[in-house]
Structure 1
Amino acid sequence: MSAMKPNNYRRVIAALPAHLRSFCVEQRYSDYTAEHQLTWRFVIDRLEAFLSEHGHPAVAAGFRCFAIDPDHIPHIDEINAGLADVGWCAVLVDGFLPPVIFMEFQAHRVLPISAEMRSLDHVVYTPAPDIVHEAAGHAPMLADAQYRAYLRRVGECGARTLWNDADDGVYQAVRALSIAKEHPNADAVEVDAAMQELNQAVAEQRARPASEATLLARLHWWTVEYGLIGSLDAPRIFGAGLVSSLLESRHCLARDTLRLPLSSACIEEAYDITDVQPHYYVARDWQQLNDVLDELAARCAFRIGGLEGVRKAIEHGTCATAEYANGLQVTGCFDRALTDGRGELAYITTLGASELAVAGTALDGHDSAEHPDGFGAPVGALAGTTTRLDRATPEELASLGIRCGHTVELRFESSVVVAGRVVDLDRVESRNVLLHLDDCRVTAPDGTVLFQPDWGRYHMAMGGPIVSVFGGPGDRGRLWRQTSMRDRPVHYSRSQLHAEDLYQRLREGSDPNIVYAELRPLVGDKWLMLMEIYAAALRREAADAPEGGELAATVRAELLELRGMSAEQRFLIDEGFIRVETQLAATA
């Protein structure tokens, strides 16, 4: 195992945009228990064995290249050493991220990896993101250049989609449920309450038209998380949810499992994060993934812009940004998109706290404190001139009457009229972005007053047409924060602490007979520890220690009894026996 170099990881974090840095956490490697390490070894060993035959070739290559070692939970610097070769990096995060943040990490070629490790209770499937799902599920496929490009494009699109408040409700409920289910001290009442909250949030979301963010999330789910590629009869696995799942990786390839050809229809298909998927989509090749993504992106406001884009933002009803051709960005909750006699967009307004930015950087003096009640601005070009306001020189502006201290009347092609006394003009990187006027009156094409002198100073956008409308603020540093999963302490019982000691002692070579004798009276799920004792006993037997054979027979009988408790337990114990036999054969 390579030595941990925390300074390397801190340099990775320091290179991120400030708002993304706030979601990163340190890897508290000592928090991983001996049981965690044992669970990792079992899961990764069995995944590698299965995926070497049924996974996309990039999976096996990625395991080798990106330090996905079955022997131990990887240090973040180990993963980054491999990812650097393909132009990506990884950061550790705290459980479920807001979807737009997750997508933005991907857009920056950063893989967010949950720092948590699944418990033994959730060895088959974890309700919360964990290092198995992220490091062993998402990371390996980055070995394929075409897939990397697709993943980044999904991130770029996802970071700009519009969402509604129902989407946020589902995210908050999913996060709460995952915390409740995976926390060692969670009780059934807490989990049931969280599940009811999620069901209600999902019902509310599905009662409304699907947002752009929901449609993109569905594509992400059916491809990045649960995607197959190749032929319908014999596809290969590439989706991270399948790559990291012992059971579902097998289920998706079963003869009686429904597999459908990938098409844009997948974005109309809702999904359930709490259960095995009812069907899976199979892509012909990587290009088809991009084709479906392009079909979806073409429907989104960030590509459409203009009147339709602003109307989409109004329909979604949450924070969005309209971007002018000169890079000026108006952020707020859009409530009106006025049109002229030709049906073209003439004027936009927001309601409530609003702010301005240019090309992703907040414009000084134009945050929500300056615009607490909304913002309004004309769209389009001036009438009677070919001069573009955003590109006009001081001389050209003067010829239009735009001079400090001078009263001017500006008539737009839409028939919006702005009349007032020029106070100042803001320029950013040689572009005119805002014209400030006092004693200003603004009228709509139909004569309606949009701004009047006693409202204060008017800040007129000088951007021309609206070229894009996207979710969230122009300055991404204004995105929200979240609470930490780590804020809730873990309390281990005396029995759990004793079992932890036994895991470690057996790993260090203690007599398996002694470990077994101490393990027997302890309560809890013991099958994996019993499997380790069984393996240790067989190794002793192979070394001509007679007591090893006796212990192996006793433990095997106990495992066979546990095997009958459930289908899942039977699967896990059978896989455990295969693992032990394979390891013994390799050392014979």
Structure 2
Amino acid sequence: MIADAPTKHGLAAGEAGRPDSPDWTIPQGWEHYSAEEHAIWRTLYERQMRMLPGRVCQAFEAGMKALPIAHDQIPDFRRLSDVLMKHTGWQVVAVPGLVPDDVFFEHLANRRFPAGQFIRRADQLDYLEEPDVFHDVFGHVPMLMHPVMADFIQAYGEGGLRAQRLGHLEQLARVYWYTVEFGLVEENGGLRLYGGGIASSYSESLFCLDSPSPNRIRFDLERVMRTRYRIDDFQETYFVLRSLEDLLELRQIDFAPLYERTAAQPTLVPGDVLPTDVVLHRGDGSYHRARRG
């Protein structure tokens, strides 16, 4: 079904990508996936599952084992939701691709995870501009089985709606980016990845832990809120939690005064290292320096 879809999906496709439903949900249409599309899922799945052991956190591994996510076919959102609902009260809803911010936050605030129902082409295995079903389901859904992450993402949705009203969405978006998408955590005496943007990317799963290039810095909320991020390449800095339970503290914080305080300070570029940072690894910047020529 997706072979005939436009190059851009959802919000990125403009009016052509807008569905009829105001919440942007659509049927997944699982029965319409082609054998080729299931084969692309299998290639991506098997490649990640060979590489992730010893790199991904235990919560991700546990979630993957408990959910109906397998190598041979794109998961059925209905079956995923049945399991999630029983454990953490979440469900997965299909959307055509990226959705407006207010729609995204409303879904998260109500424990609905919007997942793109299209899958990348065979020539896009290593890079895709838009999040597809592999990024959204393989990368993110296993962590929704963890009670802390389940509660944190719901709180993020509620906070996003408030941040929009206060005019500080950019600062809150950085928190999501450096945790849910590209977060690292200390575990078993080393660093493990838990962010879905990393877990679904073969090359970044290697880069974030093995490369000497990026900084790995202890997570600090206000620091993160001031730090821009890369949307077009590997991150120059990864922020590291002591444990996933640290995310529980963020649920108790009144962000309104933080928005005012961080807005009054200089915005930091992705590769900055501050004297006040707890630096676990000072990157040499070699990757991005070479990319800049």
TM-score (norm 1): 0.38
Contact residue 149 and residue 247 of structure 2 kept, 8 A: no
3-state SS of the aligned residue for 2:52? helix
Residues 232-283 of structure 1: per-residue CA shift (max 9 Å, x gap): 9821111010111111011101151321111020111111212111121111
TM-score under structure 2 length normalisation: 0.74
- Counterpart Cα distance in 2 of 1:298 and 1:284: 25
Q: Which amino acid aligns with 1:212?
A: H
Shift of 1:23: 0.9
**Structure showing greater relative contact order (alpha-carbon pairs closer than 8 Å, 6 or more residues apart):** 2
In structure 2, what is the equivalent of residue 173 of structure 1? none
Contact 2:139 2:199 in 1 (8 A): yes
* C-alpha contact 1:20 1:105 (8 A) present in aligned 2: no
Q: Which residue of 1 aligns with 2:266?
A: none
**CA offsets 1:463-511 (integer angstroms, 9 cap, x no match):** xxxxxxxxxxxxxxxxxxxxxxxxxxxxxxxxxxxxxxxxxxxxxxxxx
2:41 partner amino acid: W
Match among 200, 204, 221 for residue 244 of structure 1: 200
1:229 aligns with 2:185: yes
Give the deviation of 1:114 after TM superposition. 0.6
The structure number with the bigger radius of gyration is: 1
Q: Does residue 22 in structure 1 map to residue 19 in structure 2?
A: no
The residue matched to 2:163 in structure 1 has which SS?
Answer: coil
Q: Is the 8 A contact 2:90 2:113 kept in 1?
A: yes
**Which ranges in structure 1 are unaligned for 5 or more consecutive residues?**
1-18, 165-210, 305-311, 313-588
1:212 matched to 2:164? The reply is: no
Match of 1:274 in 2: 232
SS of 2:240's equivalent in the other structure is strand
CA positional deviation for 1:55 = 0.9
Contact 2:91–2:112 (CA<8 Å) still a contact in 1?
yes
State the 1:95 CA deviation.
Answer: 0.7
1:102 offset after TM fit, Å? Answer: 1.2
SS in 2 for 1:260: strand
* d(CA) in 2 for partners of 1:107, 1:20: 18
* Structure 2 residue 49 is matched with structure 1 residue 48: yes
With over 3 angstroms needed to count, the CA separation of the structure-2 counterparts of 1:214 and 1:31, relative to structure 1, is same
Quote how far apart the aligned CAs of 1:300 are. 6.6
Instruction: Specify whether residues 280 and 243 from structure 1 end up closer, same or farther in structure 2 by C-alpha distance, changes over 3 A only.
Output: same
Task: Check if 1:283 corresponds to 2:285.
Answer: no
Q: What is the alpha-carbon distance in structure 2 between the residues aligned to residue 260 and residue 158 of structure 1?
A: 25
Tell whether the 8 Å contact from 1:212 to 1:300 is kept in structure 2 after alignment: no
Q: Which residue of 1 aligns with 2:96?
A: 94
Q: What is aligned with 1:73?
A: 74
Cα distance change, pair 111–83 in 1 and its aligned pair in 2 (3 A): same
- 1:262 aligned to 2:219? yes
Counterparts of 1:296 and 1:74, CA distance in 2: 37
Q: Percent identity?
A: 29
2:152 equivalent in structure 1: 150
The CA deviation at 1:295 is: 4.9
Go from structure 1 to structure 2 and tell me whether the alpha carbon gap of 1:59 and 1:231 turns closer, same or farther (over 3 Å shift). closer
Which residue number in structure 1 is paired with residue 13 of structure 2? none
d(CA) in 2 for partners of 1:269, 1:51: 27
Instruction: Map 1:100-139 onto structure 2 (within 5 A).
Output: 100-139=102-141
Does the aligned pair in 2 maintain the 1:163–1:214 contact within 8 Å? no
Distance 1:295 1:269 in 2: 19
The whole-number CA distance in structure 2 between the counterparts of 1:35 and 1:295 is 47
Query: What pairs with 1:52-451 in structure 2 (closer than 5 Å)?
Result: 52-86=53-87, 87-162=89-164, 211-230=167-186, 234-256=190-212, 257-264=214-221, 265-292=223-250, 294-295=252-253, 297-299=255-257
One-letter identity of the residue aligned with 2:58: P
Cα separation, 2, equivalents of 1:39 and 1:94 = 18
**Match of 2:47, as an amino acid?**
R
What CA distance in whole angstroms lies between the structure 2 residues aligned with 1:290 and 1:125? 32
**In structure 2, what is the Cα distance between the partners aligned to 1:148 and 1:254?**
28
What is the match of residue 39 of structure 2?
A: 38
- Number of aligned residue pairs: 239
Separation in 1, partners of 2:60, 2:225: 25
What one-letter code is carried by the residue in structure 2 that aligns with 1:48? M
Judged with a 3 Å threshold, the aligned counterparts in structure 2 of structure 1 residues 300 and 21 are, in CA distance, closer, same or farther, namely: farther
Maintained 8 Å contact 1:66/1:80: no
Deviations 1:403-425 (A, max 9, x none): xxxxxxxxxxxxxxxxxxxxxxx
* Structure number with higher strand proportion: 1
